[in-house]
Amino acid sequence: MTYRQIFDEAIGAAPPTAVDVDTLVTREGRRHRRRTTAYTASAATAVLALALGAGTLVGAGSGTGPAPAYSAASATAVDPAGRLRSAMLAALDREAPDLRWVRGAGPVTDGATWGGPLTGTPQWSVQPFQWESMTGWSGVGVAARGDVRSYLGVFVGRPRPGQIAGPQRCTPGPLKCRSFTGPDGERVVVADFEGRRTVPGPVVRIVERFVTVVRTDGTWVQVETHPAADRHLLTAEEMIDVALDPAIRL
């Protein structure tokens, strides 16, 4: 499976050189209604969508204090959502302890709500997804770091019978891409894509980053950010370490 196939499944075919968010929002709305399992529109919940990073800039030091540390072992819930939420937040806190979260943020199609106050308490929603090619769990939220706000997603899944987890190598389309083998034989692909935002306000160039890990058992993990502009919320190395975290598992 290529990046294009993954994105087409989530949002439909996109223009080859740039992404028009207006068009994608309309298209996703139609596809969203056909999904058997849809992402909710609750605060800090977002659908997987190429180039739908919506946000506003805030001044440095806008946080409300240190973010609490998280440990997957500290989860009291025995359900998969609770276990995965703790594992995802523990990995994010380890790699980026200065992350803050936008209180009351709406979905990616409602960027006007992304300028709300910041909190150290993660606004992080975990729920199952079902695609034509894959099933699994997604964790999503709107995060801030310094003066950058961004949609942030962590996905873990397994391909359906006859499907292939991927991408496992660089394919045409990204601004830049690199692939390599991880410490335990994983296939790792890091890719940046250029797009544009037109809602709300003027057209703004944006650069999304995707880190995809395909483990030897076929499990697929993806970490993605969709910032407000061409500055990234997380470094590639931080995203790689999150995606390689063995606690993020089905």
For 94-123, the DSSP string reads HH-TT-EEETT---TT-GGGGGS-EESS--
Helices (DSSP H) in 12-136: which residue ranges?
21-34, 80-95
Residue located via tokens 């969203």: 32
Q: What amino acid occupies position 71?
A: S
Q: Identify which of 109, 164, 135 has the alpha carbon closest to the alpha carbon of residue 37.
A: 135
Alpha carbons 40 and 9: distance in angstroms, whole number: 18
Give the start-to-end residue ranges of the domains of the chain. 3-243
pLDDT, tens digit, 9 for 90 and up, residues 70-105: 444 444 446 899 999 999 999 999 999 999 999 887
pLDDT, tens digit, 9 for 90 and up, residues 175-192: 999 999 999 999 999 999
pLDDT of residue 67: 42
Query: What is the percent of the chain where pLDDT is above 70?
Result: 64
Confidence band of 136 (pLDDT split at 50, 70, 90): very high
Confidence band of 2 (pLDDT split at 50, 70, 90): low
Higher pLDDT, 131 or 197: 131
SS3 for 185? coil
pLDDT at 24 over 60: no
Q: Identify which of 190, 245, 193 has the alpha carbon closest to the alpha carbon of residue 219.
A: 245
